[in-house]
């Protein structure tokens, strides 16, 4: 009897292919029955006592989870969804843009201050983007101090940073995300649309560590612009 059992066991083992350790057993949750194949429509697994045997439908058929068997392809509900892993493309700062700005590292972040005054927020933002960054977004007091220090260290009169109310009057947002400014520290008397001109951008001067509203396209201001990169 013992010999008979052993022979029977051997026969079963030769019939049902054990699944390797690397592949999770498709019959782990199904003791007896059929399980769809994860990456093929015309294959499925036959489970017998949690042992999986891979089977293939005939050429014109697909496995159907509804019918629990092979059916003509047009009757099958099989859809294989493959998850594509998004590829993060490394950004390389543009060589020509790098010549236009001075680079600084502060607490794991990279900032750039332009050597020339800004002509428009859009042009400045484009240069920042070519450096894998954006017009500096001042998120807190410590970042504000970094911005101010960069202005002083570079003998600049001031610098344009991110933030605008051009989309909605008096609603200050970051242009790239349209997210509202979380940190706002206007200097006394600001924002003031100085001289009756709509000042829809944000800048800092060398005089104070606080924000001014400033024209996005100044004629001549002497202000530079600062980019930030994560
Ligand atoms: Ca920031
Ligand atoms: Ca102003």
pLDDT in 10s for each residue of the chain, 230 residues: 555 565 544 444 444 544 444 557 888 888 889 999 888 899 999 999 989 999 999 988 999 988 889 999 888 877 776 666 666 678 999 999 999 999 999 888 999 999 999 999 999 999 999 999 999 999 999 999 999 999 999 999 999 999 999 999 999 999 888 899 999 999 999 999 998 989 999 999 999 999 999 999 987 778 999 999 98
Tokens 């769809």 belong to which residue?
A: 36
Residue 164: strand pairing partners: 173, 201
pTM of the model: 0.62
Are 91 and 132 spatial neighbours (Cβ–Cβ below 8 Å)?
A: yes
How many A from CA of 196 to the centre of ligand 2?
Answer: 10
Looking at the DSSP bridge assignments, the partners of residue 70 are: 63
Antiparallel, parallel or unpaired: β 158-164 and 43-48: unpaired
Closest ligand, as measured to the CA of 204: 2
Determine contact, residues 121/129, Cβ cutoff 8 Å: no
Q: Confirm if 76 and 64 have CB atoms less than 8 A apart.
A: yes
d(CA 213, CA 178): 17
139 CA → ligand 2 middle, Å: 20
CA 109–ligand 1 middle distance (angstroms): 9
User: Which numbered ligand comes closest to the C-alpha of 110?
Assistant: 1
DSSP one-letter code for 196: G
Taking alpha carbons only, the member of 82, 83, 68, 80 closest to residue 41 is 80
- What are φ and ψ of residue 164, in 5° steps? -155, 155
* Cα 189 to ligand 2 centroid, rounded to whole Å: 8
CA distance 204 to 195: 18
Cβ atoms within 10 Å of 34's Cβ, excluding its own: 19
Q: What is the CA radius of gyration of the chain?
A: 33
Ligand nearest to the CA of 174: 1
C-alpha of residue 100 to centroid of ligand 2, in Å:
26
Q: Cα(35) to centroid of ligand 1, in Å? A: 51
Residue 33: left (phi > 0), alpha (psi -120 to 50), or beta? left
How many residues in total does the chain contain? 230
| 199 alpha carbon – ligand 2 mean position (Å) | 6
User: Measured between alpha carbons, how far apart are the two ends of the chain, in Å?
Assistant: 73
Cis peptide before 121 (omega within 30 of 0): no
The ligand whose atoms approach the alpha carbon of 216 most closely is 2
- How far does residue 76's CA lie from ligand 2's centre (Å)? 67
Alpha helices in the chain (DSSP H): 2-15, 95-98, 121-130, 141-153
């Amino acid at each position: 009897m013992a010999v008979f059992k052993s022979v029977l066991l051997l026969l079963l083992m030769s019939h049902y292919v054990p699944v390797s350790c690397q592949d999770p057993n498709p019959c782990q949750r199904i003791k007896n029955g059929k399980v769809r194949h994860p990456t093929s429509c015309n294959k499925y697994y036959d489970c017998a006592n949690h042992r999986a045997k891979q089977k293939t439908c005939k050429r014109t058929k697909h496995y159907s989870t509804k019918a629990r068997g092979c059916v003509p392809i047009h009757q099958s509900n099989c859809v294989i969804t493959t998850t594509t892993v998004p590829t993060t493309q490394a950004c390389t700062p543009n060589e020509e843009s790098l010549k236009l700005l001075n680079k600084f590292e502060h607490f794991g972040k990279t900032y750039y201050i332009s050597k020339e005054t800004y002509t428009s927020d859009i042009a400045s933002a484009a240069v920042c983007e070519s450096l894998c960054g954006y017009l500096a977004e001042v998120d807190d007091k410590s970042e504000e101090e970094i911005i101010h220090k960069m202005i002083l260290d570079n003998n600049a009169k001031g610098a344009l940073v991110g933030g605008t109310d051009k989309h909605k009057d008096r609603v200050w947002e970051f242009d790239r995300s349209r997210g509202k400014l979380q940190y706002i520290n206007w200097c006394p008397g600001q924002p003031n649309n100085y001289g009756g001109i709509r000042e829809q951008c944000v800048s800092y001067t060398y005089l104070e560590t606080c924000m001014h509203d400033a024209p996005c396209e100044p004629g001549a201001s002497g202000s530079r612009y600062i980019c930030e990169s994560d």
